[in-house]
Structure 1
Amino acid sequence: MEENNVVDELANCGWKPKLGMPFDSEQAAYDFYNTYGGKVGFSIRKAYAHKNKQTKETTSRTFVCYKEGTRGIDKRDPLVKFSRQEVRCGCGARFSIRKISTIQAIEVELASESGIPLKAAYELFDRESGGRASLGFTKLDQKNYLRSKRQKDLEYRETGSVLQYFHKKILENPSFYYAVHLDYEELISNIFWADTQMIMDYAQFGDVVTFDITYKLNNEHRLFGTFVGFNHHQETVIFSAALMYDKTTESFTWLF
């Protein structure tokens, strides 16, 4: 009963192993499963590992219970009074992780930046490698890698600062408007905003509007788009602005 209570507690705290969990390194995965095993009541050890034949990078690793497998027959002198204690009893508990190689990571990123859907890209990698067994990673691994990369691209200190600034502007003037676009993983993809002056200019001169994305805002080449027009002095005025993660149809549909 105590063991079940511990398992429930770990699950509620997010410590229960589940399919698709991302880790920063093999050691991080080992520490996680070792902690879980210690809480539940078993020890672990490293078992099987697979490496890429060309790059020699470890592409997968399996951790097993310390009691996994069975030992061979004790061939020591039969007259020995105390034989070696048997600790392996065939426990089937195991935890496997996979890693996308450096070359594969570049290909995954290029496919994503080119707008190729995740499923189509994975099928392409599958054919190029000669089968999923040779590929070495799953579609879920591909999805997790892109998600992790996006989280690093949109770190909290950057996105959080922008949102804090927007909240401050709304407190100063309720007419300030902004909106954020979340993807299917609830991560911020695109941001749109317009201050009071922009809104007033649009009300007066918004008969003709042009959308421009020729500017690049940062080293990551994220799209900075502006909705612009002309005032009665033929001067360029900005009606609103947007910071976009990519050029996908979904992003533009949301923005417009």
Structure 2
Amino acid sequence: MEFESEQSVYEFYNMYGRKMGFSSRKDTFEKNRRTGEITSRIFVCSKEGSRSTDKRDVLTIKPRAKTRTSCGAQIGIKIDRNKNKFYVNHFVEMHNHPFVRQESTHMLPSQRKISVTQAIEVDLAEESGISLKSSYELLGR
């Protein structure tokens, strides 16, 4: 597959993650030293990797939940200099964790976005004196 920009690849992988039931995030990248442009990038499942040791007090009553499972799912892209487009150079589909149900995918970190029109509506509601909670309830309906 070919894409016009790195952002379009991220949006595609994020949409794929929403349909499948996982959240995605940007991982490593390589830049051209002279121009500073990104030449390759890897997008991964948000559960990729593992958390480092907890540096808080040993007597912590409620430790943080484990959010990383060393999931290996990812998509890697590189730039084709001749076409000036990004292409997918590798794709790993296998996840090692259960997916989120379709009804709850809007709550995943990479999916919690509002559109420009929704942001304008919230701003207009705030300027007219409607509370933020009421305007969000209105958007939800």
Shift of 1:57: 1.1
- Separation in 1, partners of 2:6, 2:35: 17
Task: Output aligned runs, 1:74-93, within 5 Å.
Answer: 74-93=54-73
User: 1:28 aligned to 8, 13, 16, which one?
Assistant: 8
Shift of 1:79: 1.1
Counterpart check, 1:60 vs 2:40: yes
Aligned residue for 1:43? 23
CA deviation string 1:216-251 (max 9, x = no partner):
xxxxxxxxxxxxxxxxxxxxxxxxxxxxxxxxxxxx
Q: CA RMSD in A?
A: 2.4
- Separation in 1, partners of 2:64, 2:57: 11
Shift of 1:84: 1.2
- Separation in 1, partners of 2:15, 2:38: 23
- Separation in 2, partners of 1:64, 1:57: 20
Q: Which has the higher helix share?
A: 1
Larger of the two Rg values belongs to structure: 1
CA deviation string 1:34-80 (max 9, x = no partner):
01111111100000100112221100010000000000111100111
- Separation in 2, partners of 1:92, 1:38: 17
**Equivalent position SS for 2:41:** strand
**Equivalent position SS for 1:30:** helix
Unaligned runs of 5+ residues in structure 2 are 90-141
Aligned residue for 1:99? 79
- Separation in 1, partners of 2:63, 2:54: 8
**Equivalent position SS for 1:98:** strand
Structure 2-normalised TM-score?
0.57
Shift of 1:95: 0.6
CA deviation string 1:195-234 (max 9, x = no partner):
xxxxxxxxxxxxxxxxxxxxxxxxxxxxxxxxxxxxxxxx
The one-letter code sitting in structure 2 at the alignment partner of 1:72 is: S
The count of corresponding residues between Structure 1 and Structure 2 is 88
**Equivalent position SS for 1:91:** coil
- Percent identical: 49
**Equivalent position SS for 1:99:** strand
Aligned residue for 2:99? none
The one-letter code sitting in structure 1 at the alignment partner of 2:12 is: F
After the TM superposition, which parts of structure 1 deviate over 6 Å for at least 4 consecutive aligned residues?
A: none
- Separation in 1, partners of 2:29, 2:35: 14
